[in-house]
Amino acid sequence: MTHLSGDVQAFESRATDAELDDLRARLAAARLPEPETVRRPAPDPRRWDQGVPLADLVDVVDHWRTAYDWRAFEARLDGIGQFRTTIDGLGIHFLHRRSPRADATPLVVTHGWPGSIAEFVDVVDELADPPDPDAPAFHVVVPSLPGFGYSDRPATTGWGVEKTAAAWVELMGRLGYDEFVAHGGDWGGNVTAVLGGRFPAHVLGIHTTLALAPPGMTTDGLTTEERRRTEETRDFWLHHRAYATQQATRPQTIGYSLVDSPVGLLAWLLDKFAEWSDTVDSPFETISRDRILDDVTLYWLTRTGASAARIYAESPGSLDPDLRVDVPSALTMYPGDIESRTPRAWADRRYRRIVRWTEPERGGHFPSLEVPDFFVEDLRAGLAAVLAASR
């Protein structure tokens, strides 16, 4: 059980019936464009060349309006344990599941975009209370990034990855965890790198699915496969980063659509679940519609489409080029994740004590949703290696 103080308060998420009725009414009244002009029979990844295919979107919208159960997700969050605290004037929401094990290690897990805490609801219990008594156990803390979910929406600039990492150290301290391990991917991988690089007195080590190499790396000495992967990543950032540029330069403009139109929000987020998952065609090959809708509905009900997009404006250069991570680090490079194409030799330049490097056969940008069983086992193994090296 979380120790509550004046700085940490229990929290329950409750959308009103009127808010849910309004969502369904907007979905029923949605105005949709004509079909894409690259129509092909499924399965074919080229169906998505112009974005989310109309038929796929119509199917998800219908399910969202008629069958999806938000109350079940609210109950899941309450079952894990929800809390809020205020750090540097900003309300921070987080899940906290204490392990019953006396030997458990505190763990902070940070999500990214277009994700949220919804990425981890299915793995928290496994991490906190594994059925195998020999498996490592963790006191799991899953914060909502500033501007995401039930965390406050910043009213001023400044909440980039550096300030967020510092806030997580403060948060863990308030929970009684002066030393802890950290995991993250996407923006959570940025925050996790900063935690390991800036706060070694508190962070025992890290596990990440995002290897952020310093600038200026060359392909000299790389294998043929490593060169191929780096070329794919380069192609992605040259031809598929319009979403990131929009959110980094004009988050307010795209924010109007994301906060006003549930269908627009769904399409904007679903496009990335599709492109970044390790699937042949649709993200629903590995992730259920309900789990993706948990994520999208959380954005919708909290009106955080614009505020979440601003993380791209707050941290446009991502990490300090000179940031070094000297704490023990475990890195997992999933094959379907366009960001997990960093060669080991490049990663070694920033993460100076890599104690475990894993390249699975399956999985994409959302491994806790796509391959949850493997994700849990890999995270346990990675953090076990980190903790052994930190002793």
Q: What is the pLDDT along the chain (391 residues), one digit of tens a residue?
A: 555 666 999 999 999 999 999 999 999 999 999 999 988 888 888 899 999 999 999 999 999 999 999 999 999 999 999 999 999 999 999 999 999 999 999 999 999 999 999 999 999 999 999 999 999 999 999 999 999 999 999 999 999 999 999 999 999 999 999 999 999 999 999 999 999 999 999 999 999 999 999 988 999 999 999 999 899 888 888 888 999 999 999 999 999 999 999 999 999 999 999 999 999 999 999 999 999 999 999 999 999 999 999 999 999 877 999 999 999 999 999 999 987 789 999 999 999 999 999 999 999 999 999 999 999 999 999 999 999 999 8
Q: Which tokens in the block code for residue 336?
A: 């379907």
238: three-class secondary structure by DSSP? helix
Contact 171, 7 (CB under 8 A): no
**Which CATH superfamily includes the segment(s) 8-390?**
Alpha/Beta hydrolase fold, catalytic domain (3.40.50.1820)
Query: Cα separation of 385 and 371, whole Å?
Result: 21
Q: Could you state, in order of their start, the residue ranges of all structural domains in the chain? A: 8-390
Query: Cα separation of 295 and 291, whole Å?
Result: 7
Q: Which tokens in the block code for residue 101?
A: 């094990």
Query: Cα separation of 367 and 358, whole Å?
Result: 13
